[in-house]
């Protein structure tokens, strides 16, 4: 472990690029292998997070096509098939035993107890349970269960084992926490707590105090803005891995859904992009408004004459020519 930690600290760029490729390969795998999560992944949203000076880890939400209701016996059976906390003995399954012991066994650290709380904020140890059950959809119950939608079937020797998927654990070979989200409360809790996680409270507090002090200074606005920006950069703690991610332009988030900005200002107030041939500007690039104006008037599948700009932008995108040149400085 010590040698591995030294390599991670010595080669943050290699670490970050390797992790980014692992995430890309993982996303491709769960999309093409429907048996992994019990169905076809039709939507996803993910984000890379760095804890203080730590290494990257992945937060991911996926939607499964025609997923069964988890409040039915068939839904419970699906949960048991996809998510597990089973800790087999060496005699039962030596390979899985070693994987779970290495990656999924929780050990208390100083980060488990915040604000002088005696309870582990990761809800360990977890109570044994004879069968998987759904947590009643009430706010208080979700808080007591750490925002978890269900309680997994768990033996007395598995109270410190985190949720995992066997196939993913064998491929990923690292710690994971897989949670089924079967209602609006569960998915909202997860997104609010993990996906949209902000900077630490002590950091935002120190920045706010600095901003209040700077605002009282008798300098011009641009100077105040410069000081505020520098204070934010000075206060924020960035890991070497996060620096590598940003310098290498590695993706920090991804989604199956895309967004498009429509500049609805008057034509004379819009920005335009120059079109170049070599080093010579030869005009302006086409935009969504020009493509909308040139849409066909007759089509067997689409009612273009009655199609508004918003629907046109949602349904169609420009088919740009691909650049076949390979940039050695960009990960494929």
pLDDT tens digit sequence for 220-239: 778 877 877 777 777 667 88
pLDDT reported for residue 29: 96
pLDDT reported for residue 103: 93
CA distance 305 to 295: 8
Which H/E stretch holds residue 142?
helix 139-144
| CA neighbor of 270 nearest in space, from 280, 284, 291 | 284
Alpha helices in 145-281 (DSSP H): 166-172, 184-190, 201-215, 221-235, 240-247
Phi and psi angles of residue 209, each rounded to the nearest 5 degrees, phi first: -65, -40
Confidence class for position 27, pLDDT limits 50, 70, 90: very high
- To the nearest whole number, what is the mean pLDDT of the chain? 83
What tokens appear for 297 in the block?
């008037």
pLDDT reported for residue 229: 76
This prediction has a pTM of: 0.74
pLDDT at 207 over 70: no
What tokens appear for 14 in the block?
């290699």
CA distance 67 to 55: 33
Q: How do the domains of the chain map onto residue ranges?
A: 2-195, 200-235, 267-315
Residues 60, 66, 72, 75: what is their CA dihedral angle, to the nearest 10 degrees? -50
When pLDDT is averaged across residues 14-36 and rounded to a whole number, the result is: 94
Query: pLDDT tens for residues 266-296?
Result: 888 888 888 888 888 888 888 889 899 999 9
For the ranges 123-137, 162-176, 218-232, 286-300, the maximum mean pLDDT occurs at 162-176
pLDDT reported for residue 182: 74
CA distance 224 to 245: 30
When pLDDT is averaged across residues 162-184 and rounded to a whole number, the result is: 89
What SS3 state is found at 286? coil
Confidence class for position 308, pLDDT limits 50, 70, 90: very high
What tokens appear for 289 in the block?
């408004």
pLDDT reported for residue 8: 81
What tokens appear for 149 in the block?
């939608």
What SS3 state is found at 25? helix
CA distances to 187, 196, 251, 255 from 24, rounded to whole Å, are 23, 21, 10, 12
pLDDT at 218 over 80: no
Count H helices, E strands: the chain?
12, 7
DSSP assignment of 292-308 equals: HHT--S--SS--GGG--
Among the residue ranges 41-45, 219-223, 255-259, the one predicted with the least confidence is: 219-223
Place of tokens 């520098």: 230
């Amino acid at each position: 472990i010590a040698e591995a930690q030294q390599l991670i600290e010595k080669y943050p760029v290699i670490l970050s690029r390797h992790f980014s490729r692992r995430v890309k390969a993982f996303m491709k795998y769960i999309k093409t292998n429907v048996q992994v999560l019990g169905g076809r992944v039709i939507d996803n949203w993910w984000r890379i997070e760095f804890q203080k000076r730590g290494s990257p880890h992945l937060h991911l939400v996926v939607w499964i096509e025609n997923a069964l209701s988890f409040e039915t016996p068939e839904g419970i059976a699906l949960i048991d098939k996809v998510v597990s906390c089973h800790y087999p003995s060496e005699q039962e399954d030596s390979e899985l035993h070693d994987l779970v012991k290495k990656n999924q066994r929780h050990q208390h650290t100083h980060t488990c107890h915040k604000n002088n709380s005696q309870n582990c904020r990761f809800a360990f140890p977890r109570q044994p349970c004879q069968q998987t059950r759904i947590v009643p959809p009430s706010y208080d119950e979700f808080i007591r269960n750490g925002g978890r939608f269900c309680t997994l079937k768990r033996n007395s020797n598995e109270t410190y084992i985190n949720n995992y998927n066997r196939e993913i654990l064998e491929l990923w070979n690292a710690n994971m926490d897989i949670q089924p989200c079967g209602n609006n409360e569960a998915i909202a809790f997860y997104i609010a707590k993990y996906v949209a996680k902000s900077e630490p409270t002590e950091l935002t507090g120190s920045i706010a105090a600095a901003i209040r002090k700077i605002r009282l200074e008798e300098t011009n606005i641009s100077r105040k803005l410069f000081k505020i920006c520098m204070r934010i950069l000075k206060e924020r703690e960035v890991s070497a891995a996060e620096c590598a991610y940003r310098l290498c332009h590695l993706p920090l988030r991804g989604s199956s859904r895309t967004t498009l900005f429509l500049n609805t200002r008057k034509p004379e107030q819009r920005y335009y992009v120059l079109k170049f041939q070599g080093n010579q500007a030869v005009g302006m690039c086409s935009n969504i408004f020009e493509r909308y104006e040139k849409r066909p008037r007759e089509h067997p599948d689409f009612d273009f004459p009655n199609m508004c700009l918003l629907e046109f932008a949602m349904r169609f995108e420009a088919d740009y020519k691909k650049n076949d040149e390979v940039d050695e400085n960009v990960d494929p």
